[in-house]
Amino acid sequence: MTPLDAGTLQLRLLTEADWPLFLELHRHEQVLQYVADPFSEAQVRQRFDERLQPWQAGDSHWLSLVVVEKQSGAATGVCGFHCLDLDADMPLTAEVGYLFLPQFFGKGYATLALKTCLEYGATLGIKQWQAVVTEGNLGSGRVLEKCGFHLVERQHNGYQIGDKFFADLIYKKTA
């Protein structure tokens, strides 16, 4: 897959050389605040290895793209999607996700990267999109809304991080 052009950013496939970035994203307290409890290095490595697998449209494992600033060459985070195994009569549906290093929060990178992922997915025939956000993650909710997603469901006490329960907010978008 050739890198995707996202204006000031470029999205390219995750490679073995991206292990330090992936590890930092999955161990950084501020990044994980609304995502999950801290992962062990072995858990992160397993997730990383799964995302290195070759990917094609319809796969249920994640297509993981590294988001890079064109000007500086700095890797800022990851963005991607995986197809959901739904009824064969349903349009192809994918779940999106993204993680960015804290120094790149608030720069519009998540919105730009997500829009680029959605455009790429549409060329592959993906017609419906879904995202799950932990309640309180206002930044991610705004990113999704800027990209045309709508909050469609709230699952109370859907997720636990540490000793606290949060609602899962389910966002959807139709192409």
Q: Which amino acid is at 109?
A: Y
pLDDT for res 79: 98
150: domain CATH number is 3.40.630.30
Share of the chain above pLDDT 70, in %: 97
Q: What is the mean pLDDT of the chain?
A: 93
Mean pLDDT of 58-73: 94
**How much is the average pLDDT of 36-48?**
93
Contact 68, 78 (CB under 8 A): no
pLDDT at 23 over 90: yes
Say which residue, 89 or 93, is predicted with more confidence.
93
Tally of domains in the chain: 1
Per-residue pLDDT at 145? 97
Residue 165 belongs to what domain range?
A: 4-174
> Does the structure show a pLDDT above 90 at 143?
yes
Q: Which residues contact 126 (CB under 8 A, 6 or more apart)?
A: 57, 81, 83, 92, 93, 94, 175
DSSP line for the chain: -PPEEETTEEEEE--GGGHHHHHHHHH-HHHHTTT-SPPPHHHHHHHHHHHTS---TT-SS-EEEEEEETTT--EEEEEEEEE----TTSPPEEEEEEEE-GGGTTSSHHHHHHHHHHHHHHHTT--EEEEEEETT-HHHHHHHHHTT-EEEEEEEEEEEETTEEEEEEEEEEE-
Most confident option among 43-47, 84-88, 156-160: 43-47
Work out the pLDDT band at 89, boundaries 50, 70, 90: low
**% residues pLDDT > 90 (the chain):** 77
| Prediction pTM value | 0.93
Residue 159: per-residue pLDDT: 81
Inform me whether the pLDDT recorded for 90 exceeds 90: no
